[in-house]
Structure 1
């Protein structure tokens, strides 16, 4: 399955994912750990272990303070 993924602030790319891919797989495909980012579908966050059902996604990097 092909998914259009926008990494906010970094650009958009098309990902070729397995049919049983999860949103955690999307995170890894764009070079991040699921703990560093959240995936948004229609502006709402989705669980990282849920199967990918949308064709357009946004990946938002989480800010870490210290």
Structure 2
């Protein structure tokens, strides 16, 4: 399945996934689960859940300044 990962306010990435988790997607975009919230259809999802959506939004909770 082809998945689009949108890091809100930053950039968008596309990945081919088979049995990856949302944490795997975060690792691929070099973000830590401790600094973001993963959203599917406006609802947060656990990072250890297998990817089952074609569009994922990642909201950064912590930003450097």
TM-score tier (shorter): 0.7 to 0.9
**Which residue matches 1:4?**
4
What is the distance in 1 between the residues matched to 2:16 and 2:35?
Answer: 21
Structure 1: 5+ residue stretches without partners: none
Structure 2: 5+ residue stretches without partners: none
Match runs of 1:1-66 below 5 Å: 1-17=1-17, 19-63=18-62
Using the size of structure 2 for normalisation, the TM-score is 0.86
**Number of aligned positions between the proteins:** 63
Using the size of structure 1 for normalisation, the TM-score is 0.85
Please give the secondary structure, in 1, of the residue aligned with 2:6.
strand
> Runs in 1 of length 4+ with deviation above 6 angstroms?
none
Q: What's the Cα RMSD here? A: 1.3
